[in-house]
Amino acid sequence: MRFTPARYLYVLAFVVIAGYAIFTLRGPTGVPGLLEKRRQIELLEKRNAALAQENERKREHIQRLTSNPAEQELEIRQRLKLVHPDEKVYILTK
C-alpha cells in the first residue's frame, strides 16, 4: 500500500482534529465545565423549590391572618408587643 501526499494530509488533518477535540473537551469549557454547569443548575432548582415552598407557606399565613381576627390579634401582640389599654404587662427577668 502506497502512501500518497494526499493521504498524508488526510491523516495529518485527522490527527490535528482529534488533538483539538481532546484539548477542547478536557479544558474548562469541555466536560468539566459541563458537569459544573449541571451541578449549578441542580442547586438552583433546589433553591427555587425551597423558595416556592416558603412563598406558599407565607401565602397561607397571610390568608389565615386575613380570615381570622383572633389570630391577627395574636400576631400583633407577639410581633409589635402591643396590648389593650386596660391590660397590665409584667416583664420578668431572670
C-alpha cell at 3: 502512501
Question: What is the residue-wise DSSP string for 39-69?
Answer: HHHHHHHHHHHHHHHHHHHHHHHHHHHHH-H
User: How far is C-alpha 31 from the chain's CA centre?
Assistant: 22
Residue 39 is predicted with a pLDDT of: 96
> Is-contact 26 35, C-beta < 8 A?
no
> Is-contact 30 36, C-beta < 8 A?
no
Structural domain boundaries in the chain: 5-80
Question: How many angstroms separate the first and last alpha carbons of the chain?
Answer: 98
Burial class (CB within 10 angstroms; exposed 0-12, middle 13-18, buried 19+) of 65? middle
In which residue are the cell numbers 477542547 written? 24
Residue 57 is predicted with a pLDDT of: 97
Closest among 86, 89, 65 to 76, alpha carbons compared: 65
- Rounded mean pLDDT for each run of 10 residues along the chain, 94 residues in total: 80 88 79 90 98 97 93 88 85 85
pTM (whole model) above 0.85: no
